[in-house]
Chain A
Amino acid sequence: MPSVGAEGLSSFAPSAGFLRRRRLLAGLFAALLWAAAALSVLITLAIVAVLIGESLPFLEEVGLSAVLLDTVWTPLFAEPRYGIWALVAGTLTTTLIALALALPAGLALALYLCEYAPPRLREAAKPVLELLAAVPTVVYGYFALLVVTPLLQGLIPGLPPFNMLAAGLVLGVMILPYAVSLSEDALRAVPRELREAAYALGFTRLQTGLGVMLPAARSGIVSAFLLALARAMGETMVVTLAAGQNPRFTFNPLEGAATMTAYIVQVSFGDVPYGSRAYRSLFVVALGLFLCTFAVNLLATLLSRKRSHRGA
């Protein structure tokens, strides 16, 4: 027990100077953290500001209705049209194909790693899976164009060399590691007691996985897939190389169609004069893309927050 001084204070009571220095240091550190947080928010806001700033003159010139009420996107033609839905359709179709592949495969893989795989396999499999995420996307793009499309052409005669099916499937493989890795983290974060309760009650592995683990990890898994989805939406190389650069309002996966990102690449590389209308159309598309991924991210946040209210 510390000895007690004359005034009844412990002899370990810190001096006023020590307390002041400590308070200063804590304040300094808090300011540093605040600055870091503020910086990331500022950067996001700056990007949005630029997108809006560059898009507004364009929208004033052609009108919002020309963008939102048309389905033909031909900004580089002599008689340009700016129906952005042609590009949105391409993005949505490839993204949905990607999700159709990644969702079942990702859930199955995550569940396998968590409930079935022997611990050693699990430890080995996850880094390998995460390595998949390190493959450059341009490699995925050529893989789609030169391997997947020829394979699919063997199954579906008449499939054009540029098609959204191949692009979407490869996109699905590309986002799989994110989805699996994050889902598996969510599954592993399920309290051990819950798993034990299921087994003690006589659940099989499959029943435990589907009936207890997946529902318990639901919020984490939903955000994992929404993050993967946002990635698929913003992905550029795969869709540019495999789905082509021809803006076409179609949801048919067997056709080629440019996505929003593919158009941005096309125009960025082309000889579009600075400040021209075509140049500004770039920012409108970018703004549209930003709104799409932002909506998905927002959904992810809302869904995981809604869940945590219940204390799960």
Chain B
Amino acid sequence: MTVAALPIPSRTAEAEERPLKLRIANLSFWYGRRQVLFDVTLPVRERRITALIGPSGCGKSTLLRCINRLHDLEPGHRYQGRILLEPGGLDVLAPHTDPLLVRLRIGMVFQKPNPFPTSIYENVAAGLRIRGVRKRALLDEQVEKSLRRAGLWAEVKDRLHDHAFNLSGGQQQRLCIARALAPEPELLLLDEPTSALDPAATAHIEALLSELKSRYTILLVTHLMQQAARIAHDVAFLHLGRLVEFGPAAEVLVRPRDPRTRRYLAGHAA
């Protein structure tokens, strides 16, 4: 029996060597009485882009928000199962785990740009300041580096102390990426980061993510199949709160094995 015939899709040798950044095991989630996620098991490999795809309401964003315990902000939620953040196997969902410790290791970018109501500079520096960075030189350096990585430096370097709200939507979203990158998180969660942007800004951000993948582990929620195809290594398809299919992008998107995935992809192609 060849490797390709195994139920787990084959991967290149290089990919297999990548250690796991995140182990999501048998994760279920409830909002009040409504169960939104059902027994989701998903590995996320280090310095790779893993895309979560699926129809609206399938639980993609909910899954993402479990990983940094963002659901804790709203009352009436319940987690079951495990999420381990590597290295160190930090048990993300354990009651005794301080969600702050989890969030300090993970960055997040949201659907809509949500810069803080302050200057461009202070937006990027915010994550560093709350981590106790006080030295001006270090802040300056890290702000520039993050803005460069987010592809925004050239546009804002002469007006770092302008209010962030004066930027365009696409620029604001790149600012939010820079803000998330500044504290150098181990894992970057992206929740449909281009859904509020025009095609040009979207292309810009996709190019950016492709560059970032050599340095960061990225978990990307997207409803754009083309986006997943363009930049993701691994793709997970969620349907009605269940993980239906997971594997290398080329296989899940080109040769889906589950009929639900096939139907969804066909609907998208139409």
With a cutoff of 8 Å between Cβ atoms, the chain B residues found around residue A199 in the complex are 70, 73, 103
Is there contact, CB below 8 Å, between A201 and B107?
Answer: yes
A120 nearest CB across to chain B (Å)? 9
A18 to B104, CA, bound (A): 63
Is there contact, CB below 8 Å, between B176 and A312?
Answer: no
With a cutoff of 8 Å between Cβ atoms, the chain B residues found around residue A173 in the complex are none
Identify which of B7-15, B27-35, B111-119, B228-236 touches chain A.
Answer: B111-119
Is there contact, CB below 8 Å, between B114 and A193?
Answer: yes
Name the one of B126, B180, B189 contacting A211, with C-beta atoms under 8 angstroms: B126
Is there contact, CB below 8 Å, between A215 and B114?
Answer: no
Main secondary structure of the interface of B (DSSP, over half): mixed
A198 to B108, CA, bound (A): 10
A197 interface residue, CB < 8 Å from B? yes
Is there contact, CB below 8 Å, between A203 and B130?
Answer: yes
Name the one of B75, B131, B165, B176 contacting A197, with C-beta atoms under 8 angstroms: B176
A195 to B61, CA, bound (A): 17
Name the one of B70, B116, B118, B163 contacting A200, with C-beta atoms under 8 angstroms: B70
A212 to B112, CA, bound (A): 17
Main secondary structure of the interface of A (DSSP, over half): helix
Is there contact, CB below 8 Å, between B117 and A202?
Answer: no
Interface size of A in residues (CB-CB distance below 8 Å): 24
A197 nearest CB across to chain B (Å)? 5
Is there contact, CB below 8 Å, between A202 and B104?
Answer: yes
A216 interface residue, CB < 8 Å from B? yes
With a cutoff of 8 Å between Cβ atoms, the chain A residues found around residue B165 in the complex are 310-312
Proximity string of chain B (87-120) to chain A, C-beta cutoff 8 Å, 1 when within and 0 when not = 0000000000000100110111010101111100
Seed contacts A197-B179, A200-B110; 15 additional CB < 8 Å A-B pairs: A118-B75, A195-B73, A196-B70, A197-B108, A198-B116, A198-B126, A200-B70, A200-B103, A200-B106, A200-B189, A201-B179, A203-B126, A216-B116, A310-B165, A310-B166
Residue numbers of A with Cβ under 8 A of B are 118-119, 191, 193-204, 207, 211-212, 215-216, 218, 310-312
- Counting from the closest, the 6 A-B pairs by CB-CB distance are A193-B114, A200-B108, A202-B104, A202-B103, A197-B114, A201-B127
